[in-house]
């Protein structure tokens, strides 16, 4: 329950501190006195959207804080999940400061939080119902929500929603793959051609350089052979001539070996000997190279053809070998992905069919539970509305089938016949504002015992009703206040007369400083008599005082 609400610089409220208690608390006052500002302030605490227009004139910001006392395990568990440990205390202090630049400073027990966190935990603290909320009951989705909440279908609905979300993901993935399948299949043919072309080329690292070198050698083979033959002839001579470079060096070495006594000459002996060996090595290398040229298997036509293939591949797929291989690997990866997509389409189809079967099964279970819950809910609504001056009320719930959606495959429609002899019709086609208020109150009363929320706030629940109907609504609120803390802004004397605490809000104008303030008073018995008389009409205060006392 909310035990204290502090408001500062909100519209015409400069500063206000309201202490609450259990039971039924009503707020009354003239129109424009500030009752709606209290609701706006509570809405800010609940994470509602801030409006710079709420900030009091000549103030930089507004400030609201609320102290709650709650033993709700759901609330405490949620706060722990969000990182707020209550240390086994029941007190929860929430504050929010809102600035003109739309900046927020929000705190829970002094620890900073976000507006979204306030909104998150507000559903565990209080339930706020204004005039506009009555219209929500006309919505089929809200009617479905009421029945699921009443029937406690949470676990089954959660299992269904979890499966439905997975089904939606699968469906989107499948639709995406199917949309792109035609393009992908066209691309598949082209990729296969590119991969085959590169693969058939059988490229090797540095192959082009090697072929160019070989081609150069082959083009110069005859000239090379002639030069190497001349070199061999110079080194070794010919059969008809005994003069050769090797024989000359051999003879020179022999001569030098006999000049040992002349050191200056003999010192060249080793040099000539080394030159002789080098010339012999050169002779062997030339012979080997000539043999290689003679044994060359690759002819010039093959090399030219091979270089043409390499140049063709280079023009299409990259100048360097590594670029071509990167292109090849990327094409292979794309082809594999297309193949994977085809396989994945079939896999996703099977998966989606399985999910649809599961959804239909869970949805059928939900439908059956909703029918069972509706039977009990209908009787409770009818009994309650008969006590609220609707003696001939007929109420029913129509359940129609629809396509699978996030809540199942049911469309619920609340049907009502408020008057004897009239056929059942949808709520939106029949009910007046007063009937709507009573239906919403009835639903909140039905949910009260099963609801973990301690505080319910009604903003002008008496809209469209008066007289004995207002009194009956007041009795229903009084009954509800035995298990819940009820805060009610009302213009009804009958409802106000049944309250445990009566708070009067009035607007004060200070002409000296040209400012307007809202202030509150907790009324005693005599003050309540006069306020209720004011609501009924000042002219008849004296005549009505005995009635009010009773």
Place of tokens 């000296």: 512
pLDDT tens for the 550 residues of the chain, in order: 999 999 999 999 999 999 999 999 999 988 888 888 998 999 999 998 888 889 998 899 999 999 999 877 888 888 888 888 877 678 899 999 999 888 999 999 999 999 999 998 888 888 887 665 556 677 888 889 889 988 999 999 999 999 999 999 999 988 888 877 777 777 878 888 888 888 888 888 888 888 888 788 777 776 777 888 888 888 887 766 667 787 888 888 888 888 877 777 777 788 878 888 888 888 888 888 777 776 554 577 788 888 898 889 888 888 888 888 898 898 888 777 777 777 788 889 999 999 999 999 999 999 999 999 999 999 999 998 888 888 888 999 999 999 999 999 999 999 999 888 889 998 878 766 677 778 878 887 887 766 677 888 888 777 777 788 888 888 889 988 998 899 999 988 999 999 999 999 999 888 777 888 889 999 999 899 889 988 887 644 555 455 555 5
d(CA 190, CA 478): 79
- What's the distance, CA 462 to chain centroid? 40
Give the pLDDT score at 451.
Answer: 66
Q: Which residues of 64-83 are buried (b: 16+ CB within 10 A; e: fewer)?
A: bbbbbebebeebbebbeeee
Domains and CATH numbers, the chain: 2-130+452-549 (3.40.50.300), 165-187+334-357 (no CATH), 190-332 (no CATH)
Determine the Cα–Cα distance for residues 68 and 276; give it in Å rounded to an integer: 112
Rg (CA), the chain: 49
DSSP readout, 279-300? HHHHHHHHHHHHHHHHT----H
Contact call for residues 351 and 172 (beta carbons, < 8 A): no
Residue 526 structure tokens: 């005599």
Which pLDDT score is estimated for 151?
92
Alpha helices in 481-523 (DSSP H): 493-497
Q: Is 506 exposed, middle or buried (0-12, 13-18, 19+ CB in 10 A)?
A: middle
Q: How far is the CA of 82 from the CAs of 46, 71, 78, 113, 530, in angstroms?
A: 16, 17, 6, 9, 48
Residue 343 is predicted with a pLDDT of 79
Strands across the sheet containing 455-459: 126-129, 455-459, 485-489, 24-28, 501-510, 515-522
Q: What is the pLDDT of residue 509?
A: 87
Question: At residue 174, what are phi and psi to the nearest 5 degrees?
Answer: -65, -45
> CA–CA separation, 468 vs 471, rounded Å?
5
Q: What is the pLDDT of residue 263?
A: 75
Q: Which residue has the tokens 């089954």?
A: 156
């Amino acid at each position: 329950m909310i035990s204290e609400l502090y408001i500062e610089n909100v519209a015409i409220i400069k500063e206000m501190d309201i202490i609450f208690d259990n039971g039924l608390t009503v707020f009354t006052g003239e129109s424009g006195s500030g009752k709606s500002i209290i609701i706006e302030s509570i809405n800010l605490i609940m994470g509602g959207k801030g409006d710079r227009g709420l900030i009091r004139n000549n103030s930089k910001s507004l400030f609201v804080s609320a102290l709650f006392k709650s033993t709700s395990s759901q609330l405490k568990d949620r706060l722990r999940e969000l990182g707020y440990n209550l240390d086994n205390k029941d007190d929860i202090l929430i504050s929010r400061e809102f600035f003109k630049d739309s900046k927020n400073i929000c705190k829970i027990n002094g620890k900073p939080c976000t507006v979204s966190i306030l909104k998150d935990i507000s559903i565990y603290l209080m339930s706020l119902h204004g005039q506009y909320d009555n219209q929500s009951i006309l919505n089929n989705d809200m009617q479905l929500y009421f029945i699921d909440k009443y029937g406690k279908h949470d676990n089954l609905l959660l299992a269904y929603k979890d499966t439905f979300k997975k089904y939606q993901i699968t469906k989107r993935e499948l639709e995406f793959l199917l949309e792109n399948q035609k393009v992908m299949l066209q691309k598949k043919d082209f990729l296969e051609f590119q991969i085959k072309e590169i693969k058939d080329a059988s490229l090797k690292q540095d192959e082009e350089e090697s072929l160019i070198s070989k081609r150069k050698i082959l083009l110069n083979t005859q000239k090379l052979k002639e030069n190497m033959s001349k070199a061999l002839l110079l080194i070794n001579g010919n059969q008809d001539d005994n003069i050769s470079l090797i024989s000359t060096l051999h003879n020179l070495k022999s001569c030098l070996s006999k000049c040992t006594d002349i050191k200056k000459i003999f010192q060249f002996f080793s040099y000539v000997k080394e030159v002789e060996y080098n010339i012999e090595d050169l002779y062997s290398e030339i012979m080997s190279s000539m043999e290689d040229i003679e044994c060359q298997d690759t002819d010039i036509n093959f090399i030219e053809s091979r270089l043409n293939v390499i140049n063709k591949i280079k023009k299409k797929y990259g100048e360097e070998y590594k670029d071509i291989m990167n292109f090849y690997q990327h094409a292979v990866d794309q082809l594999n992905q297309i193949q994977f997509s085809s396989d994945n389409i079939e896999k996703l189809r099977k998966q989606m069919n399985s999910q649809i079967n599961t959804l239909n099964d869970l949805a059928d279970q939900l439908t059956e539970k909703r029918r069972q819950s509706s039977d009990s809910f209908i009787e409770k609504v009818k009994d309650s509305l008969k006590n609220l001056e609707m003696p001939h009320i007929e109420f029913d719930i129509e359940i129609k089938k629809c396509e699978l959606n996030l809540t199942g495959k049911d469309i619920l429609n609340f049907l009502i016949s408020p008057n004897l002899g009239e056929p059942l019709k949808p709520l939106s086609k029949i009910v007046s504002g007063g009937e709507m208020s009573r239906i919403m109150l009835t639903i909140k009363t039905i949910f009260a015992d099963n609801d973990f929320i301690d505080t319910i706030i009604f903003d002008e629940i008496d809209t469209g009703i008066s007289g004995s109907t207002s009194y009956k609504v007041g009795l229903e609120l009084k009954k509800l206040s035995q298990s819940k803390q009820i805060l009610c802004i009302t213009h009804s004397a009958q409802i106000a007369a049944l309250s445990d605490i009566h708070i009067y809000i009035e607007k004060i104008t200070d002409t000296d400083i040209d400012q307007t303030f809202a202030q509150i008073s907790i009324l005693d018995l005599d003050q309540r008599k006069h306020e209720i008389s004011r609501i009924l009409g000042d002219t008849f205060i004296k005549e009505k005082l005995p009635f009010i006392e009773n």
